[in-house]
Structure 1
Amino acid sequence: MEALVSLTTTPRFQFHASSQSARKLPVFVRRSLLASSMDPRRPSAVVSVRAQQSESKDRSVTVSPVKGDAETALKVKEWEVGMFQNEVAASQGIRIRRRPPTGPPQHYVGPFEFRIKSEGNTPRNILEEIVWHKDVEVSQLKERKPLFGLKKALDRAPPTRDFVGALRAAHQRTGLPGLIAEVKKASPSRGILREDFDPVEVAQAYVKGGAACLSVLTDEKYFKGSFENLEAIRNAGVKCPLLCKEFIVDAWQIYYARTKGADAVLLIAAVLPDLDIKYMTKICKLLGLTALVEVHDEREMDRVLGIEGVELIGINNRNLETFEVDISNTKKLLEGERGQKIREKDIIVVGESGLFTPDDIAYVQEAGVKAVLVGESIVKQSDPAKGITGLFSKDISS
């Protein structure tokens, strides 16, 4: 039997989550379940969640009942919770939706088969497209490598290195911003940056050129990176602390990055609500990782400055929705009371994107940054070490 239903309802439900199924819940639901514990593997609890969908004139779905079980029903509930999470994010000025607003993603199989008739499932910009793809990717990875299965790998992971300390030391030694050099083969806006890309060789050249830390792209579809690149660089004996440059939407990714040798991870305020940033920052501290929290406008900066425990803030001069770059964004976000609060909290600010010349470095340094993250302008050089010298107009390797 088929029936036409509207998604403009506000369902309420209550369910019992077993220890196995609870591990599959999204971050902020697990946090509600485990209010007194940071361990997402804690046994069962009961949670009531309100999921709300917004109205759309042309939104309708054809529903065909199919046989389901507790696990598939839980996945549909997880999707519904994600819709509520989109609303929470929107209330904080986050325009990036975590997942499509109509109907479960295609990788979910719930008690009903949804056939969507809405244009709302089209990403509004490249960042939203990346996040939607990442949500699917991470769900699949968690099925193959559940969190409890990462425990042995976590026990074997090498000790973390002091990411913030390395940046401070480089700044004090050279009088210039500490360099986080990015190991990146491609980007959505520029395409392939380096055809003869060997991540270990590029990393070693950066170290030779004086990089304080390295950023390693792990996204495969849009940046041609991988966690294998991160692991290979760590296993090659590169001594610089490593940032896992990933689009994190789930705490599972933080644990996984730690197993691959990361010393730091990226948290993007344009994607993550405040509670997720707070929770993930605490996860990082438990694992010995540094969290680089990235902002790109005033509202995001104000949100992050209100979160306790943040030590490292990146200002992205690239608008993550339009990909336009304006390095004056760094200066704008560090003026007035925001700059004063950053100094009072002794937060290191990292300038990101659009840095190609010594004048660019001088400009963001004068604005107040003590570190810079640079990829394109040096990875494209035939000798990345010489590219670093050219970027700073001096040898910063010693």
Structure 2
Amino acid sequence: MNNILQQIVDFKKQEVAKIRQEVTVQQLVKSPDFKRTPLSLAKSLTEKGSSGIIAEFKRQSPSKGIINDTSSVEEVTQGYLDANIAAQSVLTDTRYFGGTMVDLMNARKVNTVRPILRKDFVVDGFQIVEAKAIGADAILLIAACLTAEELKNYGNLADDLGLSVLYEVHGREELDKISDLDGKIIGINNRNLKTFQVDLEHSIALAAEIPDTCIKVSESGISDPRVITGLKEYGFEGFLIGENFMKTEDPGKSCKEFIDQLR
């Protein structure tokens, strides 16, 4: 793991340890949203007529600093729904991305029809239970931050709770950490987390090594609808886009203009 990722993971472990002292799993299980049946990310990405776009609500990032600190999560969520997204991603990491769990809960109040991915650095099973309790439908497991055993155990826990899992990889060795790829949703991060450089060719090369039974998602650095047309030819069905929409004044409108060009 590189420095920034290592920093984030170390801090996240401390943060979760603190939360666990204040909140019990039993309390999470009693929350109203825990009883809802999560929506399927796989279904929404692959159903007929799906745009395949997972639009992200993101205020800031370690590499770019502030991206958008004026748009509210409610208005952006409504804009994304009007744009006909396949799913939504909400960053809940506070220190590095300026998000909160409340953002996801507020997005959920507006969005009851599309899956919401809790975008965070999962380093503890507690966060997966927490994701369900705040109304998420899916979680992200980043192979670069987890061992093969953790990926397997956390994936199983999410399955048991009815949550979808997006497994994020950036290279062959990370892909090899995931046991039994069959039927899983695999996200290829076009941005190298070590250098923050974006390389779509890299994703295309890695996609060839992923079985066709998987759902392939391309993440980061997509700013042109034509790129999506190209990626679809390599078997990609999902496209996670945040910054490209969030850096504009009206992210929902930007998202709609983007998706309208896909048809």
Q: Is it true that 1:278 corresponds to 2:156 in the alignment?
A: no
2:22 to 127, 144, 147: 144
Equivalent residue in structure 1 for 2:13, among 135, 147, 152: 135
Equivalent residue for 1:183, pick from 34, 44, 57 = 57
Distance 1:222 1:369 in 2: 29
What residue is the counterpart of 1:321 in the other structure? Answer: 194
Q: CA deviation at 1:132?
A: 0.7
> 2:247, 2:191 → 1: CA distance?
19
* 2:193 alignment partner, SS class: coil
**Compared CA separation, residues 347 and 395, structure 1 to 2 (3 A):** closer
Instruction: Give the alignment partner of residue 295 of structure 1, picking from 163, 169, 190.
Output: 169
Q: Is the 8 A contact 1:157 1:260 kept in 2?
A: no
Residues 1:173 and 2:40 aligned together:
no
Whether the aligned pair in 2 keeps the contact of 1:131 and 1:249 (CA below 8 Å) is yes
1:186-244 residue CA offsets vs partner (Å, 9 max, x unmatched): 11111111131201111110111111100000000110101001011112344211000
Checking the alignment, whether the CA contact within 8 Å between 2:185 and 2:216 is kept in structure 1 is: yes
**Over 6 Å off, 4+ runs:** none
Q: Normalized against structure 1, the TM-score is what?
A: 0.63
Alpha-carbon deviation of 1:387? 1.6
Q: Give the structure 2 partner of residue 307 of structure 1.
A: 180
Deviations 1:264-304 (A, max 9, x none): 00000001111111111111111110010000011112332
Name the CA shift for 1:362/1:395 in 2 (closer, same or farther; >3 Å): closer
Which structure is richer in relative contact order (CA contacts within 8 A, separation 6 or more)? Answer: 2
2:71 corresponds in structure 1 to: 197
Deviations 1:122-170 (A, max 9, x none): xx5211111111011000001101223323127754221111101111x
CA distance in 2, matches of 1:199, 1:191: 18
Q: 1:63-115: CA deviations, max 9, x gaps?
A: xxxxxxxxxxxxxxxxxxxxxxxxxxxxxxxxx3xxxxxxxxxxxxxxxxxxx
Name stretches of at least 5 consecutive residues in structure 1 with no aligned partner. Answer: 1-95, 97-123
Q: CA RMSD in A?
A: 1.8
Structure 2 unaligned spans of 5+: none
1:19-43 Cα offsets, whole Å, 9 max, x none, are: xxxxxxxxxxxxxxxxxxxxxxxxx
* Aligned counterparts, 1:1-398, within 5 A: 96=1, 124-153=2-31, 156-169=34-47, 172-173=48-49, 178-304=52-178, 306-307=179-180, 311-335=184-208, 338-339=209-210, 342-343=211-212, 346-392=213-259, 394=261
Change beyond 3 A, Cα 1:232–1:289: same
1 CA distance for matches of 2:217 and 2:248? 22
Q: Kindly tell me: are residues 349 and 395 of structure 1, through their superposed partners in 2, closer, same or farther at Cα, counting changes over 3 Å?
A: closer
C-alpha separation between the residues in 2 aligned to 1:200 and 1:389?
Answer: 16
Which residue identity lines up with residue 214 of structure 1 in the other structure?
Q
**TM-score (norm. length: structure 2):** 0.93
Q: Distance in 1 between matches of 2:111 and 2:240?
A: 22
Q: Which amino acid aligns with 1:323?
A: F
Residue type matched to 2:128 in 1?
A: I
- Amino acid corresponding to residue 377 of structure 1 in structure 2: N
Q: Aligned with 1:370: secondary structure?
A: strand
Aligned length: 263
In 2 relative to 1, CA 285–364 (structure 1 residues): closer, same or farther, beyond 3 Å? same
Alpha-carbon separation, structure 2, partners of 1:257 and 1:155: 10
Q: 1:148–1:327: structure 2 CA closer, same or farther, 3 Å change rule? A: same
Residue 209 to residue 141, structure 1, CA distance change in 2 (3 Å): same
Work out the CA distance in 2 between the residues paired with 1:207 and 1:155: 20
**How many angstroms apart in 2 are the aligned matches of 1:319 and 1:222?**
17
**Higher alpha-carbon deviation: 314-323 or 263-272:** 314-323
Deviates more, 1:177-186 or 1:387-396: 387-396
Quick one: distance in 1 between partners of 2:57 and 2:155? 24
Aligned with 2:233: secondary structure? helix
1:210 is aligned with what amino acid? N
- The whole-number CA distance in structure 2 between the counterparts of 1:258 and 1:376 is 25
Query: 1:389 Cα deviation (Å)?
Result: 4.0
1:368 positional shift: 1.8
Between structure 1 and structure 2, the one with the greater Rg is: 1
Displacement, 1:252? 0.2
